[in-house]
Amino acid sequence: MWPLSAEELPNIQATRDCARTDDEVTPSSVRSRVIEELTLNAWPPLEVLLFDGWVLSFSNGYTRRANSIHPLYPSCLPLAEKIATCEAIYAARGRQATFKVTSSPEHAELDAVLHRLGYATAGATSVQTAELASGALVADDSVAFATAVNDRWLGDFNRLTGVPAELQPSERKLLEKIGPPHCFASLVVEDRTVAVGLAVCERGYVGLFDIVVEDAARNRGIGRRVCASLLGWGQRQGGTTAYLAVLADNGPALRLYGRLGFEEIYTYWYRHKPGAE
């Protein structure tokens, strides 16, 4: 089943009528695909396999996003065959296949098939964008920037989020692999880092990632200061549109991003076999 043999390649060419035509690609689906591409570049898996329009990512278990299947582009092979092949590829690595499915219409059939195969849903997430104002965002002198991940930022992030020690080597490799211009932010209060964040700029978009505020420092506007500072950095890199992903049940974060002007453009969720997250 994997890899495809030379004899099977002509059959793939013959099934190109399975792929969507240009008329079926809507502006909203094109934009969601752009954001998904940007996110993969900003949060690069340690290893990627390409399979008939799908991106299979592997990062030794660090984050679900970097260890899942991203069905980004039109496909030709039958869905059942593709799903079975993905299951076999992940099983060979000792992992269960997890699919990242968006609310774009072209993912509806995949989502339905996975449901019939017993895949459960998890991690419902809202993807949001905001247009950056024409005026420059005011810099916050209390927010420190670094253009490469360092021991202090990583230590603070792991302390604030509780990343298990066994995943930290893969975490560091992933962050060191980021290619587009990026910036790590820290906000220190009384010699203690109380918030961190990451921004990545590409193609005029500024992505916000890893925005974390210490529990004891919440509800004091600190998260807003970190986000605004990172957006200002992105604006200085030529960014005009910001994007982020936030769990749909994270009320405080949704309120913060709403105050910053973010609005939902699509959603995504993960499909996995029960007990295999």
Strands 263-272 and 120-131: antiparallel
Among the ranges given (69-73, 109-113, 175-179, 217-221), the one the predictor scored with the smallest mean pLDDT: 217-221
pLDDT tier at 5, thresholds 50, 70, 90: very low
Convert 221-272 into a string of H (helix), E (strand) and C (coil). Answer: CHHHHHHHHHHHHHHHCCCCEEEEEEECCCHHHHHHHHHCCCEEEEEEEEEE
pLDDT tens, position by position, 23-82 = 456 777 888 999 999 999 999 999 999 999 999 999 999 999 999 999 999 999 999 999
Tokens of 2: 């994997």
Task: Give dist(CA 233, CA 206) in Å, integer.
Answer: 9
Instruction: Name the architecture of domain 133-239.
Output: 3-Layer(aba) Sandwich (3.40)
Pick left, alpha or beta for residue 257 (phi over 0 → left; psi -120 to 50 → alpha; otherwise beta). Answer: alpha
Cβ-based neighbours of 141, under 8 Å, separated by 6 or more:
none
Say what the pLDDT of residue 18 is.
Answer: 54
| Structural domain boundaries in the chain | 9-126, 133-239
pLDDT tens, position by position, 124-133 = 999 999 999 8
Place of tokens 């024409």: 134
Q: Which residue in 159, 140, 153 sits closest to 186, CA to CA? A: 153
- Asked if 136 and 235 touch (Cβ cutoff 8 Å), the reply is yes
User: What kind and span of H or E run contains 155?
Assistant: helix 151-161
